[in-house]
Amino acid sequence: MKPLIFVFIISVLYLAYQLLRSRRPKHWLIVSSSLSLAVILSFQFLGGVFLIPTESMSPTIKPGDLVIAQRVGGLFDHRAVQRGDVLVFNAPSVPGVYYVKRVLGIPGDTVTYNEDKVFSINGKQNGSLIKKDAFTTQYQAETDTAGQSYIFETDNRIGYVQTGKKWIIPEGYYFMVGDNRDHSLDSRYWDNPPGTPKNLRGLIHHESLVGRVNFKIVNLGFLARGDSGDRSIKQRQQPQQR
């Protein structure tokens, strides 16, 4: 159960109790009906509220950012997953752990990881060079949504690591990467559960998707983990789900 949904339900029960005590049945009916509707709509809309602990999605999402994920396939989500979407999902080999990454490859794509640490999608390089210094190289890439772009970066102090060279994305799966390419654990490196066919290693199934990140609420940097690598993202609730 998502934390905000839980809060709504508790609020409904508490208000119902207080209004029954005050013996205002008509008022109670209006308030409880409104809150019940809010619960239902929130369940259809929200994938969750999440706290980002690491720099794996920098510079787009920074450590300590509190983000809202809109539920994929929810009541107000009417479009397919597209390249460039930022998604929250369950890790392939660690049940109960959530990650946030960007969609790089969708069904039907051929994704190639090149030695300059830039990907190609269906033979076309993903991203154009915009800045380079002694430490980082930054690129700008377009999303499938017209007029939208994002920045990703590589660490010039870290060499190319040969993982899979090429992935052909089958129906129902996605290739996910972090915008901070050299400090991200993603589809290049993940091990899926034992018995997973080799061609599916590192890919994320549609059923593992939790939500599409569309909103950043606030930065709570003092709650970030304080390292540059990444393992997962924390769901903002007590106790934290792992």
Tokens 């998502």 belong to residue: 2
- Are 139 and 153 in contact by the 8 Å Cβ rule? The answer is yes
Strand partners, 155: 136
Would you say how long the chain is, in residues? 242
CB 144 within 8 A of CB 105: no
C-alpha torsion sign, points 230, 231, 234, 235:
positive
Q: Of the residues 56, 58, 187, 232, which is catalytic?
A: 56
Residue 173 vs residues 13, 51, 67, 142, 218: alpha-carbon distances, Å: 40, 25, 24, 21, 31
Contacts of residue 32, Cβ cutoff 8 Å, sequence gap at least 6: 12, 15, 16, 19
Query: Is 56 an annotated catalytic residue?
Result: yes
Question: What is the β-pairing status of strands 46-51 and 65-71?
Answer: antiparallel
What single letter denotes the amino acid at residue 106? Answer: I
CA-to-CA distance for 150 and 67, rounded, in angstroms? 17
- 87 with 103: CB under 8 angstroms? yes
Name the active-site residue from 2, 42, 58, 101. Answer: 101
Q: How many CB atoms lie within 10 A of CB 24?
A: 13
Is position 101 annotated as part of the catalytic site?
Answer: yes
- Could you list the active site residues? 56, 101
